């Protein structure tokens, strides 16, 4: 029985690679796109930080400008309480007594002391 031999000239080459086109963009294009997106993001973050700083500065200045108004309101309340205390004192005692040396209004100061001594 004769042996099978390869055909004269040899077999055709076996195609083991797939000839498919590369999918997606090239790595260089992807790198530049990623750098562009990151640059845009950092730019937006920087803008947001500057905006927050500006809002904080505006808030601080608005509070600074409100201080005189709030102080005047507190003073009016203290004077109202002072006159109410004087009226209550006159009603109870029948006369108005002053523990101070002058009639000038002095902002009251309160000292809280404990009712019992700690040992």
pLDDT one-digit tens code per residue, 34-78 = 999 999 999 999 999 999 999 999 999 999 999 999 999 988 998
Q: What's this model's pTM, rounded to 2 decimal places?
A: 0.49
State the Cα–Cα distance between residues 68 and 63, nearest whole angstrom. 10
Instruction: Give SS3 for 44.
Output: helix
Q: Give the model's pLDDT for residue 47.
A: 98
């Amino acid at each position: 029985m004769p042996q099978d031999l390869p055909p004269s000239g040899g077999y055709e080459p076996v195609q083991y690679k797939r000839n498919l086109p590369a999918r997606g963009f090239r790595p260089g294009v992807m790198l530049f796109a990623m750098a562009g997106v990151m640059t845009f993001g950092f730019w937006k973050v920087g803008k947001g930080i500057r905006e927050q700083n500006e809002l904080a500065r505006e808030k601080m200045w608005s509070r600074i400008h409100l201080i005189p108004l709030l102080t005047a309101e507190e003073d009016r309340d203290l004077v109202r309480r002072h006159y109410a205390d004087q009226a209550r004192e006159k009603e109870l005692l029948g006369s108005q007594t002053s523990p101070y040396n002058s009639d000038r209004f002095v902002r009251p100061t309160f000292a809280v002391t404990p009712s019992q001594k700690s040992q």
